[in-house]
Amino acid sequence: MLQETHIGNDQQARCYRIYGYNLMTSHHHPKYGLAIYIKDTITDFNVTPPTEEETTFTTTNKIGELHITNVYTAPSTRWPKPALPSTTIPCIYAGDFNCHHTMWGYKTNETDSEDLMDWISAQDLQLI
């Protein structure tokens, strides 16, 4: 999973290759952006189009039975309600959340991080 790819369009995206991996899905943005690459030997996967909620970008893909959601939220951005799209378990949410919370080693909590933690609790997920 990559964050802040700074790729503005499909033509630029075709220039970036990682040996042994295929670009599974991406969301292009000249300032932000994200991408998921998958090992070229993995054949059991489904691609879902990325979503955009103002400056929060997500893409969820299924590899075997595992749902993987790549998240990028721009700095100083309010989280939407709900914070993230729900998916089927087993799942992994990973990415650049751009918010601070004491659970992640910061000294104070930001409102956005509290909203995210409320969503995590409501989904019965675990932070690792």
Which one, of 58, 41, 40, 37, lies nearest residue 49 by Cα? 58
Task: Collapse the DSSP code of 26 into the 3-class scheme (helix H, G, I; strand E, B; otherwise coil) and give the result.
Answer: strand
**Dihedral (CA of 8, 11, 15, 18) sign:** positive
Q: Which pTM value belongs to this model?
A: 0.74
CATH topology assigned to domain 2-122:
Deoxyribonuclease I; Chain A (3.60.10)
Which one, of 109, 85, 82, lies nearest residue 95 by Cα? 85
Question: Which comes out higher in pLDDT, residue 8 or 99?
Answer: 99
pLDDT at 123 over 80: yes
- What value does the mean pLDDT take over residues 12-22? 79
* Domain residue extents for the chain: 2-122
pLDDT at 108 over 90: yes
Question: Which comes out higher in pLDDT, residue 108 or 75?
Answer: 108
pLDDT at 118 over 80: yes
Report which DSSP code applies to 79.
P
> pLDDT tens digits for 34-92?
788 888 898 888 877 667 666 677 778 888 888 888 888 888 777 777 778 777 788 88
pLDDT band at 107 (very low <50, low <70, confident <90, very high): very high
